Amino acid sequence: MAKTKVAYFCQSCGFESPKWLGKCPSCQHWNTFAEEIIEKENKSIPNWKTPSTSMQRANKPIQVSDISFDEDQRILTPDNEFNRVLGGGIVAGSLVLIGGEPGIGKSTLMLQLALNMPSMKVLYVSGEESERQIKMRAERLVQSEVRSRKSEVDNVKSEIENSKFEIGSECYILTETSTQNIFKQIEQLEPDMVVIDSIQTLYSSHIESTPGSVSQVRECTAELLRFAKESGTPVFLIGHITKDGMIAGPKILEHMVDTVLQFEGDRHHVYRILRAVKNRFGSASELGIYEMLGEGLREVSNPSEILLSQRDEPLSGITISATLEGMRPMLIETQALVSTSAYGTPQRTATGFDTKRMNMLLAVLEKRCGFKLGGKDVFLNITGGISVEDPAIDLGLAAAIISSHEDIPIPFKTCFAGEIGLSGEVRAVNRIEQRIAEAQKLGFEQIFISKYNLESGGQNKKRIDLTRYNIAVKTVGSIEEVFSALFG
């Protein structure tokens, strides 16, 4: 009999200790250690395929020039937003972790993806729902897809029934939580893609601890990682999150996987945001936007249209700013409300924007422009429920604050793209041509940018040709010039 081993794991970061500790020496959190029983096993995880020559020689040093490299053949999905966030499609043998709030739509997103991959055999493993529950959701998603196809092509009913048969014909459902049983079914089915819902419900018989514990999550992820790399099968893991918004389990879970995706949004609103937090095969700043409907998730191909409200009359405190999320330009609506403080200490609240940067903008407006905002309540809001860290929206926010303070609306079809420095100058921002093109595409008449975007090396050499744009490009050097052009 193998001797049992007792160890203590930090529930926050996964640090292992042979004895209980009050404070974790790794993450500095208190009272996070829990006892777990680990049994030493002589069994090893079976090899999924005979190790290739490259796997055998990976144990000895190889020169970089001698390593054979083939570009990853990405698997394109019918979901263009999903492909964009992953960096161009699914990479064979990749391990992807998707986290989000309960009820946000993680299972719906992955089941919808599994049902719409007709050329691939997909195994959907669920440890949280029964087969009947998954079937009910799948029927709703299939009916929605059939209706969308029926609206695209006008054909006879038999062809619609054939399309219904194609949708989900290669999707297999397995309700199991034991990794050993899951791998037996994988060995028999030989799927092209595996979805695990969720990693916190799986358990391995090699470890004597409850599902969801640090050791179980780490062991199950290690087994799935080895399977993905040896077989070349992409694996998607759905993960729970804590009340702090972090993915539950040890921090090493995010280090082991290749890609970490965050599914964000408010359950009471229709729009969802898929954001890449970590991506070894592409950009980690891409963004995908979905609309949650009763029939599933719908891609939002042009997010600028949903982020801009349709107003019949001009209102003060509202501006449009050009921002970038990854490679995608977007126009967002920035709102500000400035009112007299009813209490001794003025309130400063920002939704979707950094509060410290808001305080910096208020200090610049008061110091450089002479606006008395020290005793005013200031509220900022980025519409659409998204969070923006792009400094290019500084100019739009400053204009919105002064517009609300003076109660003068900004002219219609006006857009802003510029960063504000501490001395009140409007600084240049990157990829200004894409921002101008997006504003022109949506019908805006003028856009305010920094004049330094047109200069190179301290000399007046134009980087961009403004004559090829139908939109009026206003170049400014300081925020005083912006306010004089807007408010006189």
pLDDT in tens, 308-354: 776 667 889 999 999 988 778 889 999 999 998 887 789 999 999 99
pLDDT value at residue 72: 58
Residue found under tokens 């299972």: 107
163 and 276 part of one domain: yes
pLDDT value, residue 356: 94
Q: pLDDT tens for residues 349-407?
A: 999 999 999 999 999 999 988 888 888 999 999 987 788 889 999 999 999 999 999 99
Q: Print burial letters for 17-47: b (CB count within 10 Å at least 16), e (below 16).
A: eeeeeeebeeeeeeebbbebebeeeeeebee
Q: Is 101 annotated as a binding residue?
A: yes
Residue 413, Cβ density class (10 Å: 0-12 exposed, 13-18 middle, ≥19 buried): middle
344 vs 289, which has greater pLDDT?
289
Nearest to 227 by CA among 272, 194, 178: 194
My answer on whether 87 and 34 are in the same domain is: no
- 329 and 454 part of one domain: yes
Provide the pLDDT for residue 328.
82
Who contacts 26 (Cβ-Cβ below 8 Å, separation ≥6)? 10, 13, 15
Instruction: Give the global pTM.
Output: 0.73
* 267 and 350 in a common domain: no
Among 10-19, 149-158, 392-401, where is mean pLDDT lowest? 149-158
- The residue ranking higher by pLDDT, 310 or 220, is 220
Is residue 464 pLDDT above 80, yes or no?
A: no
Average pLDDT over residues 241-261: 84
Query: Residue 160 is part of a domain; what is its CATH number?
Result: 3.40.50.300
Residues of the domain holding 380: 305-487
CA angle 141–146–150, rounded 5-degree value: 150
Please report the pLDDT score of residue 126 as a whole number.
93
Instruction: Average the pLDDT over 217-225 and give the result.
Output: 91
Residue with tokens 């891409």: 286
Same domain, 324 and 383: yes
Query: Is 441 part of any domain?
Result: yes
Asked whether the predicted pLDDT for residue 227 surpasses 90, the reply is yes
pLDDT at 52 over 50: no
Question: Binding site annotation covers 103?
Answer: yes
Domains held by the chain: number = 3
Q: Does 58 fall in a domain?
A: no
Domain annotation covers residue 60: no
**In a domain? residue 226:** yes
Q: Are residues 115 and 188 in the same domain?
A: yes
- Predicted local distance difference test score (pLDDT) of residue 344: 78
376 is in an annotated binding site: no
pLDDT tens, residue by residue, 114-133: 998 878 899 999 998 999 99
Q: Residues 259, 315: one domain?
A: no
If you average pLDDT over residues 199-223, what whole number do you get? 87
pLDDT of 485 strictly over 60: yes
Binding site annotation covers 450? no
Asked if residue 191 belongs to a known ligand binding site, the reply is: no
Is 396 annotated as contributing to ligand binding?
no
Report the percentage of the chain scoring pLDDT > 70: 85
130 lies in the same domain as 199:
yes
Supply the mean pLDDT for the chain.
Answer: 83
Report yes or no on 424 lying in a domain. yes
Q: In the prediction, which pLDDT does 83 show?
A: 92
